[in-house]
Amino acid sequence: MADTIAAISTASGAGAIGILRLSGPEALPIAYRHLSFFEGALPLSSIKPRNAYTCRFVDGEKKLDQVVFIYFAGPNSFTGEDLCEIHTHGNPILLREALECLFRSGARPAKQGEFTKRAFLNGKIDLNEAEAIGRIIGARSRFELELAQKNAFGEISRLASNLRSQLISLKAECEAEIDFSTEDLTFESLEERKKRIRSISDICSNLLKRSSETETLLERSRVVLYGEPNTGKSSLMNLILGRDRSIISEIPGTTRDYISEDFLLSGVPIRLIDTAGVRETGDKIEKMGIERSEKEFSQADVRLFVIDVSQKNDWNKFAEENRSKLEGAIVAANKSDIRDPSWDPQYILKKNYPGTVLVEVSCKSRQGLDTLVSEISFKLQGLESSEDYVLLEERNRFHFSSITRSLENCLTLMEEGAPAEIYIKEIDSALEQIGEVNGRVDTEEILGRIFSKFCVGK
C-alpha cells in the first residue's frame, strides 16, 4: 500500500481530546510538516518511535493547537505500517481543520475500516479479530461486548486452528493409507476414523447451535407481562423500567393493546411487553387486544404472570384452570402488602408445575422487586456471564455449516463403503472452509464488505 491515509479516530462531537491518525509510508513526513517543537527545531531523524512529544500543530505560520504527537514505526504498529497519532483538544472544528492540513500535505481520506483492513492485510490481526473490533465498537450491551472481546482475543481463531490441525491429521492418515496400501503398515480402523470425523462435526454443530442461541438473545429477549385487569401489570412495567411508560388506571380495560419498551436488564437487551388485561368482554376492540395478549404471552422468552393477591379468590381452582400458563412462568403475586386471607403461595407452589417460580411483590412498597428482576435475569439463562455463549459473524456461520455438511457427506460415503480416495475429497472441502474462518480470503469484494461496516478512523 503505497499511499498514506488519515482520519479523525475519535467519536464525533466535542470532547476533552481528539485524535488524528495517519498510516502509510509518508505518515511521519506528512505529520512532521505541521509540528513545531517547543525545544526548537527537532530533525525528522531524531523522532523516536513510541515517544510522546508535546508540541504545536501548525498550518504554515498559523498555530492551531498544542498537541501530543506519537510515532509508531512499522511493522510495530497497529496497521503494520508507519503510523502517527496527533492528540489535540476535542473541538470538531479544530480537528477538521487539522485534518485538512494533512490532506493538503499528501495524505488521502481513509475509507471506512481502512486502518483495521491494513492491519489484517499486513498480518497484524486475523479476520476474526478484525470483525471482533467492529463488534466491540458497536456493542449494544455488556453481554455483546464480552462476546466480542472473547473473539478479539482469539477464541474463534484458536478453535479454528485446533479443528484445522485435527483435519490435517485426519487427511494425512487417509493419504498414507492410499499411498501405502500395499505396504505392511497398520492404519487406524474405519470405526476409529469415523469417530474422529463425528467428533469434529459435533464441535461445529454445537458451535452453530450456541451461536444461534446467542443471536436470538442479542436480538432482544421478549419478557411479557400477562394477567387479568387491575392486577398491576402496568405499574410493574413502570417499576422495572424505572419510569412511567404504561398508563395506570383503576378502570378495567385501560390497556387495549400491548405496549413494548426496549432496555437493558443486567446488561442484556430486553423487550418488555405490557399486555391488555385478560377477561370476558363484549367490547370488540378490547377482545382484539386480549387475543394479542394471548399470542404475545405464548411466544414470550420469559412469561411474567401477574396476579392480584389482595382479592378473595379460590387460588387452588385458579391454579388448576391456568396450569398451561403457569408452567414455566414467573408468577408475580402483586399487592402482597395488602394480601387477602385467602391467599397462600402454596396453592400454586405445591402443584410443582415445571419451571414455575413465584415471587411476592408490592408495586406500592417495591417489596420483592429486586427478587423479581433477579428471577427474570435467571430465566434469561444467567446472562450476567457470557461464558456459555459464542458470537459468530454471518461469514463464519456459513463456513462452519459447510464444514459440518462436508463431514456428514464424508461419513455417509464411508458407511456406503466408498474408498478413501473418494471420501478424502470431503475432508479437503472441510479443510478449505476452516482455512477461510481465520481469514484466507482472496477477493477484494469480500474484504470490502467486511470493513465497510467500520467507522472512518478505525
Alpha-carbon span 243 to 100, nearest angstrom = 45
Residues 231 and 281 both lie in one domain: yes
Does pLDDT of 423 surpass 60? Answer: yes
- Per the structure, the count of domains in the chain is 3
- Contact in structure between 10 and 92 (CB atoms under 8 Å): no
Taking a C-beta distance cutoff of 8 angstroms, is the pair 207, 400 a contact? yes
> Do 278 and 309 lie in a common domain?
yes
* pLDDT top residue among 269 and 417: 417
374-399 in b/e form (b: 16+ CB < 10 A) is ebbbebbeebeebeebbbbbebbeeb
Query: 63 and 171, same structural domain?
Result: no
User: Would you give the distance in Å from CA 167 to the centre of its chain?
Assistant: 29
Can you tell me the distance from the alpha carbon of 220 to that of 298, in angstroms, rounded to the nearest whole number?
17
Q: For residue 383, what pLDDT band results from cuts at 50, 70 and 90?
A: very low
Please give the residue that has the higher pLDDT: either 412 or 188.
Answer: 412
In a domain, 113, yes or no: yes
Within this chain, do residues 90 and 172 fall inside the same structural domain, yes or no? no
Question: Which residues participate in the annotated binding site for (6S)-5-formyl-5,6,7,8-tetrahydrofolate?
Answer: 21, 85, 124, 458
Q: What is the pLDDT of residue 1?
A: 63
Least confident of 148-157, 159-168, 424-433: 148-157
The three cell numbers locating residue 186:
497398520
Statement to judge: residues 405 and 372 lie in one domain: no
Report d(CA 161, CA 283) in Å as an integer: 63
Q: What is the rounded distance in angstroms from the CA atom of residue 443 to the CA atom of residue 429? A: 19
Q: What single-letter amino acid sits at 375?
A: E
Q: The domain containing residue 402 runs over which residues? A: 155-208+397-438
Go through 244-264 and write b for each residue having 16 or more CB atoms within 10 A of its CB, e for each that does not.
ebbeeeeeebebbebbbbeee
Q: What is the mean pLDDT of residues 30-50?
A: 90
Asked, for residue 254, whether it belongs to a domain, the answer is: yes
Higher pLDDT, 176 or 243: 176
User: What is the structure's pLDDT at 402?
Assistant: 93
pLDDT in tens, 99-142: 999 999 999 999 988 999 999 889 898 888 888 888 888 777 77
pLDDT at 51 over 90: yes
* Helix or strand holding residue 374 (H, E): helix 369-379
Q: Has residue 251 got a pLDDT over 70? A: no
Pick the more confident residue, 25 or 297: 25
Higher-confidence residue of 160 and 251: namely 160
| Sign, Cα dihedral of 437, 438, 441, 446 | positive
Q: Closest Cα partner for 273 from 307, 241, 230, 309? A: 241
Residue 441 has pLDDT above 70, yes or no: no
Q: How confident is the model at residue 248 (pLDDT cuts 50, 70, 90)?
A: very low
Q: How many Cα atoms are found within 13 Å in the side-chain-facing hemisphere of 357? A: 16
β-strand partners of 225: 274, 304
Answer with the one of 126, 145, 166 that is the final residue of a domain.
Answer: 126
pLDDT at 170: 85
Q: Which of 265-269, 295-299, 365-369 has the lowest mean pLDDT?
A: 265-269
Q: What is the pTM of this model?
A: 0.61
147 found inside a domain = no
How far is it, in rounded angstroms, from Cα 323 to Cα 80? 63
Check whether 257 has a pLDDT greater than 80.
no
Which residues sit opposite 274 in a β-bridge? 225, 259
**Based on the domain organization, do 234 and 350 belong to the same domain?**
yes
Q: Does one domain contain both 286 and 343?
A: yes
Residue 413 belongs to some domain of the structure: yes
Q: Is the pLDDT of residue 445 over 50?
A: no
Residues 6 or more apart whose Cβ sits within 8 Å of residue 222? 271, 273, 296, 299, 300, 301, 302
Which parts are annotated binding residues?
21, 85, 124, 230-235, 249-255, 274-277, 458
Looking at the structure, tell me whether residues 261 and 175 fall in a common domain.
Answer: no
CATH number at residue 417: 1.20.120.430
The residue with greater pLDDT, 349 or 175, is 349
Read off the CATH number of the domain in which 248 is found: 3.40.50.300
pLDDT of residue 267: 65
139 falls within a domain? no
In a domain, 330, yes or no: yes
pLDDT at 192: 87
pLDDT of residue 255: 46
Pair (329, 277) in one structural domain: yes
Q: What is the mean pLDDT of residues 176-184?
A: 62
Residue 18: the pLDDT is: 94
Share of the chain above pLDDT 90, in %: 33
The 10s digit of each residue's pLDDT in 279-298 is 555 555 556 666 676 777 77
Residue 273 contacts residue 296 (beta carbons within 8 Å): yes
Per-residue pLDDT at 286 = 56
Quick one: pLDDT band at residue 379, thresholds 50, 70, 90?
A: confident
Distances (CA, A) of 306 to 130, 296, 353, 365: 46, 15, 16, 16
Specify if 215 maps to a domain.
no
- Whether residue 85 is predicted with pLDDT greater than 80 in this model: the reply is yes
> Region 38-64: what's the mean pLDDT?
90
How confident is the model at residue 288, as a pLDDT?
Answer: 67
Residues 187 and 287 occupy one common structural domain:
no
The two counts, helices (H) then strands (E), for the chain are: 16, 13
More confident residue, 85 or 382: 85
pLDDT computed for residue 360 by the predictor: 92
Q: Measured between alpha carbons, how far is residue 179 from residues 176, 203, 352, 419 in Å?
A: 5, 30, 63, 13
Please check whether residues 167 and 273 belong to one and the same domain.
no
CATH of the domain at 24: 3.30.1360.120
Q: Which residues are annotated as a binding site for Mg(2+)?
A: 234, 255
In a domain, 150, yes or no: no
> Are both 283 and 342 inside the same structural domain?
yes
